[in-house]
Amino acid sequence: MTSDTATGAVVLVGCGRLGSAILEGWLTTSTVAPADLIILTPSSKPAADQAQRQGASINPDLSELARSRVVVLAVKPAMWRAALEPLLPHLAPDALIVSVMAGVKSADIASLSARTVARVMPTTAVAQASGVAALWSSDAIAADAARTLFAPLADVVDLEAEDQMDAATAVAGSAPAFIYAFVAALAQAGTGQGLSEEAATRLARGALKSAGSGAGTGEALDILIARIASPGGTTRAGLDAMAEDGGLTRAAEAAVNAAVERARSL
């Protein structure tokens, strides 16, 4: 880790699905040494238990927070004030805050905490160090600290403005679920064409893995599509059917717009 976070502890507040994924990624990549981890969680979590066995502190006395340098807020958005406020008198004066919460503005966190804030929206694939994460901060030091924590786990995408974070949440943070739902629909369509449920599910999941491998090359998406969809072939017929009357675009826009609206209402 860089000097921004190497001289103190990283405090993870919340160890739900996303918090656990982040923690697993840190442990897998050795991004944060377990001895430098303080985890605050109201209930036992497998990832936290694993970290504790490796030397992390779980729910220690609040005086331990004096060695904090970065506080990662990974609680439900509706709970962030109640989770953060009791910690503030115990944090190091120069501790930075990194929020991975959807819909919570950095100005609100900074106003309550009187500290510098960075916002990150990662996907849960950070657990396998193969995620993607949107990053924004008005402060270069906070941005660098957040990047240090997440670059080993994800492709970090810097945003130009904070108001882009809700869209980034929909396009990246929520989109894996949208993609899984589409793959499940493909499997169901396969059963409609005579495949067994097991065969259709395995084939659809395998297709998802194949698509992920292609995406990992970094090539343009239209090139990846063209490599599979030869003119007049079966893939092109399917793509044309999905695009008919703008159906595919409408479905994607509906999903992203709904997720953005929900983020703004949190």
CATH of the domain at 63: 3.40.50.720
Same domain as 231, residue 154? no
Same domain as 66, residue 108? yes
Res. 63: pLDDT tops 50? yes
Res. 81: pLDDT tops 60? yes
Q: Which two tokens stand for residue 140?
A: 């270069």
Res. 4: pLDDT tops 90? no
* Confidence band, pLDDT 50/70/90 cuts, at residue 1: very low
Parallel, antiparallel or unpaired: strands 37-40 and 68-73: unpaired
Rounded distance between C-alpha atoms, residue 84 and residue 137, angstroms: 19
Find the Cα–Cα–Cα–Cα dihedral 140, 105, 134, 164, rounded to 10°. -100
Res. 2: pLDDT tops 60? no
Residue 75 counted as domain residue = yes
Query: 33-47, 77-91, 139-153, 250-264: which has the minimum mean pLDDT?
Result: 250-264
Mean pLDDT taken over the chain: 93
Residue 152 counted as domain residue = yes
Res. 74: pLDDT tops 50? yes
Res. 5: pLDDT tops 60? no
Same domain as 58, residue 82? yes
Considering the chain, what percentage of its residues have pLDDT values greater than 70?
97
Domain that holds residue 37: 3-161
Same domain as 139, residue 25? yes
The number of folded domains in the chain is: 2
Tell me, what's the pLDDT at 3? 36
CATH number at residue 209: 1.10.3730.10
Q: Which two tokens stand for residue 218?
A: 């970094």
Same domain as 206, residue 74? no
Res. 104: pLDDT tops 50? yes
Residue 78 counted as domain residue = yes
- Residue 57: CB partners within 8 Å, gap ≥ 6? 9, 37, 38, 39, 64
Q: Residue range 216-224: average pLDDT?
A: 89
Confirm if 136 and 164 have CB atoms less than 8 A apart: yes
Tell me, what's the pLDDT at 247? 86
pTM for this entry: 0.81
Q: How many residues does the chain have?
A: 266
Q: Which of 138, 161, 184 is a domain's end point?
A: 161
Res. 174: pLDDT tops 90? no
Tell me, what's the pLDDT at 114? 96
Same domain as 155, residue 44? yes
Residue 258 counted as domain residue = yes
